[in-house]
Structure 1
Amino acid sequence: MARIKPQALLLQSKKKKGPTRIGASTIVLCNLVVALIVLSIMATYRHWYKRSMDQTEDGKSTFEGTDVRTFVDLKKYDLPGYAILNTSKGYITIELYKESSPEIVDRFLDLCQKGYFKGMPFNHVIKNYVIQGGEYQGLGAAEELISHAKLHLQLGTSPKHEAFMLGTSKTRLDSKGFDLFITTAPIPDMNDKLTVFGRVIKGEDVVQEIEEVDTDEHYRPKSSVGIINVALKREI
C-alpha cells in the first residue's frame, strides 16, 4: 500500500473544510425573487392607500353639504340666464330668474330646447295690461282674462306686478302646457294667478308695438303676431 505524503493530506483537508461556492445564476435568481417581493408589497400598499382615500372623499361628499351645494351652484351657473324671443315685430330679450323661480325656469328652458314656443301666436293682446301667448286655460278660459283686464282698467289699484315682466299662469304648472304672459303695465289683480320668472331687459319698444296691434272685441289680434323662435344665452 502506497503511503500518502503529509502535504497531500493537508490539501485534501482544506478541500473538505472550505466553503461551498455559489454560482452566478443562483445569485441573479435570488435578487429577482427579492425584487418581486418588494414590488408586490409596494403595489399592495398603494392599492389600499388609494382605496382609503377614495372612501374618505366619498364620505365627505355624502355627509358634508358643502360639496353638494357647490355642485348645485355650478349647475345653476351653467344654465342659460337669458332668452331672446324672436317675434314677428322684433326681438325681446328676457332675463330669467334662475334663483327665485328655478323649477319654472328649468321647465321653460326644456320646452325652448324642444321647440315648444316656435311659432307660438299671441292669442290675446290687451293694451295697458298683458300680452298672452299659448293655450290659455289657467284662469278658466279667455273670458276670465278679459274680465280681469276690464276690472283692472276701471279701478287702477296699486300694482303688484311691474310692467314688462314675463310670467306663466300658476294653475298650468302641473300640466303639460305652458303659456306666456308679458305684462305691459303694472297689474294688481293677477298676483295670485301669475308666476313671474323673468323680465324684459331689451325690446320694450317691441312689446309696445305688439300691444298696439288691432284686436277684436275679445282682444284677439286681427293679424297674426307671435313668436318665431327662441334663442337661449348664458351671457349677453
Structure 2
Amino acid sequence: MVRKIINKIEASRISIKPFLTYLSSKVILMNRILASLLCLGVFSAFAAKPKHQYVKIKTDMGECIIMLYNETPQHRDNFVSLTKKGVYEGSLFHRVIKNFMIQGGDPDSKVAKQDELLGNGTVGYTIPAEFRDSLFHKKGVLGAARDDNPEKASSGSQFYIVQGKKFTDQGLDSLETNRLHFKIPVWQREIYKNLGGTPHLDRNYTVFGEVVKGLDMVDKIAAVSRDSNDRPNIDVKMSVSVLKRRAAKRLEKELAKSIKNDSFTIN
C-alpha cells in the first residue's frame, strides 16, 4: 500500500515537471520583454526632440538664451543655419537705442573700425515676412531688421532684441488711431502695459523668437553710451551658439517648472 502511494507521488512529480519548465521559460521571456520596454521608454525619453530650438548669445555684458518660434520657420531655420556657419561669431551689436532695442547681425561689423558706420552689411538675400497676429513686439522679442521694401522682407542676417517701454491705455489708443490702424488685442495690451515693448513695429517687422533667460543683458547693452549713429562707443561683441538637444530639453523642463510655480503664486 505504501509503495503504491510513493509510486503515485513520483509519477505526479514527473508529469508536472514539463509544466514547471514551460512556466519558468515564460517568466524569463516576460522579464526580458519588460526589460526591453523599459529600455525603450528610457531611450525614447532621451531621444525625443525639444519643442523648440534655442540660441545663446554671449557678450562681455552678460548672456541670454533665445527661444526661436516654430510659427516662423523660415526665420528660425535661417538664424540657426547662420549661427552654425559662424556668421554671427565676433560680430557687434552695432546700433543700440535705450527704451527701444539693440541691433546686431551685420557681417561687416566683424572687421569694422571704431567710428565706422554700420548697418548696411548683408549675406546676399532676404527672407519673406512671416507675420503672425499672436506674435508681437513685447520686451525681449527677437525681430528681423529690414530696409524699406514694399514686401517688408527681412534682412538675411540682421536682427534686433526689443527693450521697449511700458505703455498706458491712452498711449496705446493713440498708436492704434494714428499709426497702427488696427486694434491691439486686450491680452497684448496688458503685456505692453506691464512688461513693455514696441507695439508700433507690429505687423511691420517679423518677430521670430524671444529671450527666455538673461533679459538683463538687453537692458545693460541698451544703456551704454553711443555716438551720433547709435553705435556703442565701446564695441559689444557677441558669440552665438545653438543649444544642444540635451541642454534644450533641460532648459524646457526648467522653464516649465518656473511657469508652474508662477501659476501658484498669489499676489
User: What TM-score bracket applies, with the shorter chain setting the length?
Assistant: 0.5 to 0.7
Alignment gaps of 5+ in structure 1: 1-75, 143-159
The superposition leaves residues 177-220 of structure 1 with CA deviations (integer Å, 9 ceiling, x where unpaired) of 31010000111222243211110011111111111111112211
SS of 1:223's partner is coil
Q: Are the structure 2 counterparts of residues 164 and 194 from structure 1 closer, same or farther at C-alpha, using a change threshold of 3 Å?
A: same
Q: Are the structure 2 counterparts of residues 91 and 190 from structure 1 closer, same or farther at C-alpha, using a change threshold of 3 Å?
A: same
| Cα pair 2:145 2:154 within 8 Å, conserved | no
Aligned residue in 1 for 2:65: 93
Larger Rg: 1
Q: Which residue of 161, 164, 173 maps to 2:140?
A: 164
User: Distance in 2 between the 1:86 and 1:181 partners?
Assistant: 15
| Cα pair 2:144 2:155 within 8 Å, conserved | no
- Please, what TM-score do these two structures have when normalized by structure 2? 0.47
User: Distance in 1 between the 2:75 and 2:95 partners?
Assistant: 22
Q: Are the structure 2 counterparts of residues 77 and 231 from structure 1 closer, same or farther at C-alpha, using a change threshold of 3 Å?
A: closer
Identity %: 34
| Cα pair 1:95 1:200 within 8 Å, conserved | yes
Q: Which residue of 157, 168, 185 maps to 1:178?
A: 157
Q: Which residue of 229, 232, 238 maps to 1:227?
A: 238
Alignment gaps of 5+ in structure 2: 1-47, 108-117, 120-135, 165-196, 252-267
Q: Which residue of 174, 197, 210 maps to 2:208?
A: 197
Aligned residue in 2 for 1:127: 98
| Cα pair 1:129 1:187 within 8 Å, conserved | yes
User: Distance in 2 between the 1:135 and 1:96 partners?
Assistant: 20
| Cα pair 1:92 1:204 within 8 Å, conserved | yes
Aligned residue in 2 for 1:210: 221
Q: Are the structure 2 counterparts of residues 170 and 216 from structure 1 closer, same or farther at C-alpha, using a change threshold of 3 Å?
A: closer
SS of 1:82's partner is strand
Q: In structure 1, give the amino acid aligned to 2:208.
A: F
Q: Does the alignment pair 1:104 with 2:75?
A: yes
- Please, what TM-score do these two structures have when normalized by structure 1? 0.52
> RMSD of the alignment, in Å?
3.0
The superposition leaves residues 10-40 of structure 1 with CA deviations (integer Å, 9 ceiling, x where unpaired) of xxxxxxxxxxxxxxxxxxxxxxxxxxxxxxx
Displacement, 1:103? Answer: 1.2
| Cα pair 1:131 1:182 within 8 Å, conserved | yes
Displacement, 1:130? Answer: 0.7
User: Distance in 1 between the 2:54 and 2:234 partners?
Assistant: 28
Q: Are the structure 2 counterparts of residues 118 and 79 from structure 1 closer, same or farther at C-alpha, using a change threshold of 3 Å?
A: farther
Q: In structure 2, give the amino acid aligned to 1:177.
A: G
The superposition leaves residues 152-189 of structure 1 with CA deviations (integer Å, 9 ceiling, x where unpaired) of xxxxxxxx511110111355996883101000011122
Q: Which residue of 115, 119, 127 maps to 2:86?
A: 115
Q: In structure 1, give the amino acid aligned to 2:58.
A: N
| Cα pair 1:85 1:231 within 8 Å, conserved | no
The superposition leaves residues 40-94 of structure 1 with CA deviations (integer Å, 9 ceiling, x where unpaired) of xxxxxxxxxxxxxxxxxxxxxxxxxxxxxxxxxxxx9478611111122121110
Runs of 4+ in structure 1 off by over 6 angstroms are: 172-176
| Cα pair 1:135 1:179 within 8 Å, conserved | yes
Displacement, 1:120? Answer: 1.4
